[in-house]
Amino acid sequence: MSTPVNRNKEAQKVTIIGAILDTLLGFAKIIIGVASNSNALIADGIHSFSDLLTDFMVVIIFHFSHDEPDEEHPWGHARFETIGTVFLGCVLIAVAGAMAFESIREFWTSTTVPTPGWAALLVAFLSIVSKEWIYRYTLAAGKRLKSDLLIANAWHSRTDALSSVVVLFGIAGAMAGFAWMDILAAIVVAVFVGKIGWDLTWNSIKELVDTALPEERVTELKEVVEEVDGIINVHHFKSRNMGSKSLLEMHIQVAPYCSASEGHWIGDTAVIKLLQRFDDIGHVIFHIDTYDDEEESYCRILPVRKEIEAMLKEHLAAHDQVLENFHVTLHYLHDLIEIELKLVPITKESQKEMPLSVLSTQLNNAMQPQPWFSKLTIWTH
């Protein structure tokens, strides 16, 4: 698994390579497009420079998004990556709108449309080959690094490659005598770019409002947790994305008489299994339940340890029990409480005067009027 530092360096390396390519292609398309009278190639050149802008943005955002958590950002800075993806999508939409407007204006106002030259056709072909290569290179890195931002940038490169295909056919059609095909190709490129920009923006906005992971993914995660020995069921399962990481919250039900330490250990085991199975999980919060509270999310008003111990002391004093110390274990079972009372120690004289079985019966009878009381069991050393 890549460390944040290595992940950042690898992402920057991929992005810089793409930026160099976009710079060369952008200048070539616009210069040759102007010289060869190709509106479609000029629009494609603007598209390449929009790639260059987003390449620089990716480098900057990766720098900030991988900073360690701090007091102001205890969950880390991964959302900077998401915001960057939103901005990238908006840039694509804006570029698409400008390209479409200019092409439509050209189509309606021009009386004669110049025919592009062979140089425009050659540059369009070179753009297809080079942008398809950088798309595959960047996409592979994005998947390996689990980065939506890199994947988004890869698709930006793919739009440039596919738009160059449209431009190629448009230029070829214009050279064959259908001059309007060059302008139409520019409009098609604009629509395609706008669609990609919308998809990227919408998906990132859904992440920013904490949209849950896909249902099949949630099912897969819950199945891993339910495999852990000691877990009865998993409920109140919540999920969301933060950058390239998934954040999970869940309630884990264990046996009613499970100790607090064992219950927490079972929860930790579930977290370890999740992290071992999925390398894109950033943080897991779990709550241990001893009963199924899936249908009721509120807490009942039940007495706490201090109140119960005060009642027991009062009842024990009423039976003249001579105690140096006692320990109480409480089992909260939905809306009832079971009590285990360990006496440490009880005197032999008192044992003769009041056998434990008799004391247990009397204490159970004394506590019975409490609506939350289930039963009491006495233990001694």
Helices (H), the chain: 4-35, 39-65, 79-109, 118-145, 148-175, 180-208, 215-226, 260-277, 305-318, 348-353, 356-367
Q: What pLDDT shows up at residue 1?
A: 47
Answer whether 243's CB lies under 8 Å from 79's CB. yes
Q: What pLDDT shows up at residue 266?
A: 94
- Cα gap 271→248, rounded to integer Å: 10
> Digits of tens for pLDDT over the chain (381 positions)?
455 556 667 777 887 888 888 888 888 888 888 888 777 777 778 777 766 766 666 666 666 655 666 666 656 556 777 777 788 788 778 878 877 887 777 677 665 556 677 788 888 888 888 888 988 888 888 888 777 667 877 877 777 777 778 778 888 887 887 767 777 777 877 787 788 788 878 877 877 777 778 888 889 999 999 999 999 989 889 888 776 678 899 999 998 888 889 999 999 999 999 988 887 787 899 999 887 776 655 556 889 999 998 898 888 777 655 555 678 889 988 788 999 988 765 555 544 456 778 888 989 999 999 999 999 998 876
Long-range contacts, stretch 346-354, CB < 8 angstroms, 24+ apart? 346/321, 346/322, 346/380, 347/322, 349/322, 350/320, 350/321, 350/322, 353/320, 354/319, 354/320, 354/321
All domains of the chain in start order, with CATH: 4-208 (1.20.1510.10), 215-289 (3.30.70.1350), 305-380 (3.30.70.1350)
Q: What pLDDT shows up at residue 87?
A: 80
